[in-house]
Structure 1
Amino acid sequence: MNRFILAAALLLPSLVLADADPRFARLRDQAEPLGSLSAFLDKYVGECSGLFAGMGCRDAAEAFRKQYEGKRLYMIVGEDVATMVRPGPYQPGSGNYVIEVTPAFPGGAYVLTHGAPGQLTANDQPLLPPLRVTGTTPPGWNATDFMRLFSSRQVRLQVIFAPQTLWGMERKQGSGKQYGVSARVEALLLTNARTGEPLGLWFADESAAKAKKK
């Protein structure tokens, strides 16, 4: 798994979400901004396996987890590191499209996931079904314009989530376990990083309602 720190630098809400869907803005306003996913995961996991891990390391991790029980958090995944976003089906006639988001957000040595993964890939990445975000391209766009959003890294991702529990699975490469934090991703907002235009929204409640109707 690539060990990069998620770019979760928080922009001013008035600038980032001025034209956001009111449902997303309402959830965002109820959430705590997350400055660094890597730092959050380090404290939440509290692996305490390092040479300088003190006696109170596990107690501190447990206290940190309790501090965030039932809390809602908000982060921005910058376009340069939003590798969990990829293009789905595109309909040339209507301009309707699907963007798939694999809900696994690496931060340092750990990863935040939407629910706990059932298994790891051969590269020790969490194996999770993608979340499907739908939208329609602006007038005059074609498939090439749509694909360019991804090839030139123009998709910015905003995430609202609530951490739930810790998970750990045996690595397939090397020894030891891969640890992560299982969360409930409550909402996603995808935007064009260059223009700020929204590309699509995803809400957990709406997704669950659609699944029940099938």
Structure 2
Amino acid sequence: MNRFLAAAFALLVPTLALADVDSRFAKLRDESEPLGGLGVFLEKYVGECDGALVDPQCKQQAEAFRKKYTGKRLYMIITEDDAGMLSPGDFNPGTNEYTINITPFFSGGKYGLSHGAPKKTDAQGNPVMNYLTVSGTAPDMWNGGTFNRMFMARGVRAQVVFTPQSVWTLPKKGGGKNYGVNARIEAVLVTEGRTGNPLGLWINGKDAGAK
């Protein structure tokens, strides 16, 4: 395979992997700007600008960055190794119907992106967030063990469409402050990492699979 064909194939594979999804999610995704890296984005958006070696223009640059991206729709992929915010919910062995819990807090470096601004932290100092829940029906050959093992083996990933709103702060355990980005999470598509098959969709403020 020559270099041109290899490059074309590399560009085509992600497109094929994302092609067979809910049309509502596809529309939001295609109207969004892809995010290169969450950690870098959060650092620039928060603009904490602490430390002796900070660029004197840091705060000005952060303000310009926030002005550019506040209210702008963005899209990111949470890979299997980073998808700790996804956890198994209930599994009905009679119908194979299940739920998946999404903690709407996405870590990137020392900061986090959340669905709305958290109001308090837990005993470990982590922001407390209410679950977003999605539902679906598993294939006939699955059971509760199969469903749970998929999460234990880091076999799920998420695609997220969000719009940044503002910076939030919370008291840090031991003193100081925690910073993060308050966002409006517009959609979360949960898929099986190995196959890309959709497992659940949260969109327009609700579970798309709810009956």
CA RMSD across the alignment: 1.7
Query: Which residue is 2:179 aligned to?
Result: 179
Letter in 2 for 1:38: G
Letter in 2 for 1:71: K
Query: Which residue is 1:130 aligned to?
Result: 131
How many Å separate the matches in 1 of 2:20 and 2:127?
33
| Runs of 5+ consecutive residues of structure 2 not aligned to the other structure | 1-10
Structure 1 residue 53 displacement after superposition: 1.2
Say if 1:185 and 1:11 are closer, same or farther in 2 by CA, change over 3 A: farther
Query: Which residue is 2:141 aligned to?
Result: 140
How many Å separate the matches in 2 of 1:82 and 1:154?
9
Structural mapping, 1:164-203, within 5 Å: 164-172=165-173, 174-203=174-203
Please report the TM-score for the alignment, with normalisation by the length of structure 1: 0.88
Query: Which residue is 1:43 aligned to?
Result: 44
Letter in 2 for 1:180: G
Structure 1 residue 204 displacement after superposition: 3.0
Structure 1 residue 11 displacement after superposition: 9.6
Cα deviation digits, residues 134-153 of structure 1 (max 9, x gap): 11101121111111111111
Query: Which residue is 2:93 aligned to?
Result: 92
Structural mapping, 1:1-214, within 5 Å: 13-172=14-173, 174-206=174-206
Query: Which residue is 2:4 aligned to?
Result: none
Structure 1 residue 18 displacement after superposition: 1.3
Structure 1 residue 12 displacement after superposition: 5.8
Report percent identity of matched pairs.
54
How many Å separate the matches in 1 of 2:85 and 2:188?
13
Please state whether the residue corresponding to 2:112 is helix, strand or coil. Answer: strand
Greater shift, 97-106 or 14-23, is seen at 14-23
Cα deviation digits, residues 179-204 of structure 1 (max 9, x gap): 00000000010111011111111113
Question: Is the contact made by 1:124 and 1:178 (CA closer than 8 Å) also made in structure 2?
Answer: no
Task: Name segments (4+ residues, structure 1) moved above 2 Å.
Answer: 10-13, 204-207
How many Å separate the matches in 2 of 1:184 and 1:159?
11
How many Å separate the matches in 2 of 1:66 and 1:169?
22
Say if 1:79 and 1:179 are closer, same or farther in 2 by CA, change over 3 A: same
